[in-house]
Structure formats: C-alpha cells, structure tokens
Amino acid sequence: MLKTAEAVSLGHPDKISDYISSYILDRMIEMDNTVKYAVEVMVKDNTVILGGEITGNVDLSNICEYVKSALREIGYDCNYANIWGDYAININKLNVINLIGVQSPDINRGVETGAWGDQGVFVGYACHGPDNINLELYLARKLNRALYEMARNSDNLGLDIKTQITVDEHGQIKTAIVAIPMLKQQDLNQFIIDTLGQTPEDIIVNGTGIYTYHSSIADCGVTGRKLACDFYSTASPIGGGSPWTKDATKADLTLNMYARYLALENLGRNDECWVYLSSCIGQKLLPSGLIKTIRNGVITERDLFCIHPPRELIKFLGLDKPIYTKLCARGLQSLRVIPNVVQP
C-alpha cells in the first residue's frame, strides 16, 4: 500500500498570500490584541490584492510596507530581484491594491459578546509518527524545508519549491518528487538522499526539465489553497476554512489548533486519533464534538463536550499574541501547548 503527501515552501504563490495575511495580522495584534481581522490575499505577477475587513484600534497606513516586509521575510528581497529579474515576483516593481474595509456589524455583534465569529467544522489529528503526523507528510515537509533553506543561500536555486513523497507500508520511500527553480541545472540527488536518510527508488527533480519562471509570475496565488499541506494531507479530513487569514475569534485557527491539542491528548496507546469540533456564530458553546480513535483496527467513537468559551481557548493557545507568521511558516503542528487551564 502506497501513501503520498505533498509540501510547499513559503515561496509558493499560495503560501506567499497566506504569509502576507498572517504578517499583517501580527502587526495588527501588536497594536490591538482584540482586533477583528479577516483579510484574503491574491498575488499575480507583481500585483498584490488585499481584500477583507479589519476593525480595531489599529493604524492601517503602513499596509503596503507590511506587504513588502512579508515578501522580504520569505526571501523575495531586492537581492533576489536582481538575481532572478522577471522570472519571479519583483519587490522593486510591486503594486498593492488595498480593498480592506471594516467588519460587518452582524458579525461584530456576535464576537463582542465573547462568542464565536463564524460557524464551521474543525478536525484535529495525531498518530505515533514523527512529530505525531503521518510519515509521508513529515518527510515531504522535512525535504521541503531543507531545500528552502538551501535556496535562500543560493544564487542558482529559487524559493518556489514543491516536494512530494510516496512511501510503502514499511516506511520505505518509493518516490521523491521535487520542483525547484534553477537558473542552471544542478544535481540535487545526493542532497535529497542525505536529507531523507534513505535512498528513494525513484527521484524526480523538475519533471518538465526546465523550471525558471516561478512564484506569482508563473501562477496566481490565493490564500487558503494549500490546506491539505497545512493540515494532515490525506491522513485526515479537514473542515475547509483557512487558518491563516483571520483573527482567533473566527475559529478557523483556534478550533483547528484545539482539535489538534485534544487529538494529542487522547492519542495514548491508540494508533491514530481524530477530534471533530463545530462552532456557531454568536454562540459560546460548541454544537458538537467527537473523539475517534483506531487501535489494532478497532474504531472507537465518543462524544466530546467543550464548555470553554472562545476567549479562554484563545488565551490558552496564545493566539492573542503575534505568532501567526511563525505558525504559517512552521505549520499548525508547531504549536506546543502546556496544559494548565483547559482540560478536555
């Protein structure tokens, strides 16, 4: 039985969009940690479009500079523009279109009472693999991050990187697929083998043979389009809401993070654990919760009752602090919570 997972770098146009929104949110939280925020981003060629709502005691006059700062943090700085020219997004030619307004009074009416700001379904997952995720996803991310760091220090490799790993039931790597921009051909096979710790049966680097045009020059990027990579690949269903474009009251990050925390707490001697949660706008209590575990092929399900209101969970998870870019860069599973207030 073969299993496959994909990972993408921050230099991918969809992740550029996620990171820009997360970066702006961090700056807003630094000014007002109760800010209400929902901003989507689209990037095409050298144009960045911001659309959404921000309400709070915040200054929006530096939005365009925040976009540039986010791009610099990813690695798309002036030096990168000098090396790659028109092959990639060019910070020197950037155009920002700002369509940000204020939060709907109907939504605001709900969150100001301390309730959730949206309805939705959220899923957390854990297993006994490395980092408590499935092996193929762990390896795809490990290879992607290694290549990304290599590219950040290279005059030949680009930042828009995709990796894909296929493993068999014994954990042996059958196929490693890499897409990474190159100005001139470079043999990466040994680096891939060393990073993965084993030799895949097949290694494919840049399947079309040539990969130079990249980032938003090659593909339009939009927030929330890499959710399988952000969550658990094919090991678990996902709710569908992007965790990178909203403040914590909107639940898309908060309840996904809490579901992951609960999955880890309830994994125990089980092989796998899933936690399903749902929310309702204007309500503090969750309409439903379910814990599902598998051990030796036996499935067990039981109801979960969460009585903790949004503000308590947000504080418990530290989501009232400017940590959104770190989470966007490192993934949902990077947040470590020490139980002290909330108990499942």
> At residue 341, does pLDDT exceed 80?
no
The phi, psi pair for 89, rounded to 5°, reads -55, 135
The phi, psi pair for 192, rounded to 5°, reads -65, -45
pLDDT value of position 307 = 81
Spell out the CATH class of 120-131+225-334: alpha beta
Give 239's pLDDT tier (boundaries 50, 70, 90): confident
CA–CA separation, 257 vs 123, rounded Å?
9
Provide the token pair at 123.
Answer: 């899923």
CA–CA separation, 206 vs 179, rounded Å?
5
Percentage of residues in the chain with pLDDT exceeding 90? 85
pLDDT value of position 255 = 95
Provide the token pair at 118.
Answer: 């949206």
pLDDT value of position 241 = 83
CA distance readout (Å), 290 to 48, 157, 269, 302: 40, 45, 18, 6
Can you tell me the mean pLDDT for 69-83?
Answer: 98
pLDDT value of position 333 = 75
pLDDT value of position 109 = 62
As a residue count, the chain comes to: 344
CA distance readout (Å), 324 to 18, 129, 318, 334: 10, 25, 10, 11
CA–CA separation, 16 vs 70, rounded Å?
8
pLDDT value of position 245 = 92
**pLDDT tens across 295-338, in order?**
999 999 999 988 889 999 999 999 999 999 999 998 877 766 54
Give 240's pLDDT tier (boundaries 50, 70, 90): confident
Whose CA is closest to 222, among 255, 238, 245?
245
CA–CA separation, 302 vs 294, rounded Å?
12
Give 106's pLDDT tier (boundaries 50, 70, 90): low
Beta pairing class for 95-101 and 221-222: unpaired
Residue 106: CB atoms within 10 A of its CB come to 9
Q: Which helix (H) or strand (E) holds 260?
A: helix 254-267
Is 283:254 a contact under the CB 8 Å cutoff? no
pLDDT value of position 170 = 96
Provide the token pair at 213.
Answer: 């045009």
**pLDDT tens across 80-92, in order?**
999 999 999 999 9
The domains spanning 3-9+134-212 and 120-131+225-334 adopt the same CATH topology: yes
Can you tell me the mean pLDDT for 210-238?
Answer: 95
Q: Is the dihedral of CA 164, 258, 281, 19 positive or negative?
A: negative
> At residue 247, does pLDDT exceed 50?
yes
Domains of the chain, by residue range, sit at 3-9+134-212, 14-104, 120-131+225-334
**pLDDT tens across 40-64, in order?**
999 999 999 999 999 999 999 999 9
**pLDDT tens across 173-223, in order?**
999 999 999 999 999 999 999 999 999 999 999 999 999 999 999 999 999
CA–CA separation, 343 vs 145, rounded Å?
33
Can you tell me the mean pLDDT for 164-178?
Answer: 97
Highest mean pLDDT among 38-52, 101-115, 242-256, 324-338: 38-52
Q: Where are the beta strands (DSSP E) in 207-309?
A: 221-222, 272-279, 289-295, 298-303
Long-range contacts formed by 189-197: CB under 8 A, 24+ apart: 191/146, 191/147, 191/150, 192/143, 195/142, 195/143, 195/146, 195/147, 196/139, 196/142, 196/143, 196/165
Architecture of domain 3-9+134-212: 2-Layer Sandwich (3.30)
Spell out the CATH class of 14-104: alpha beta
Provide the token pair at 310.
Answer: 């949004």
Can you tell me the mean pLDDT for 276-284?
Answer: 93
pLDDT value of position 111 = 65
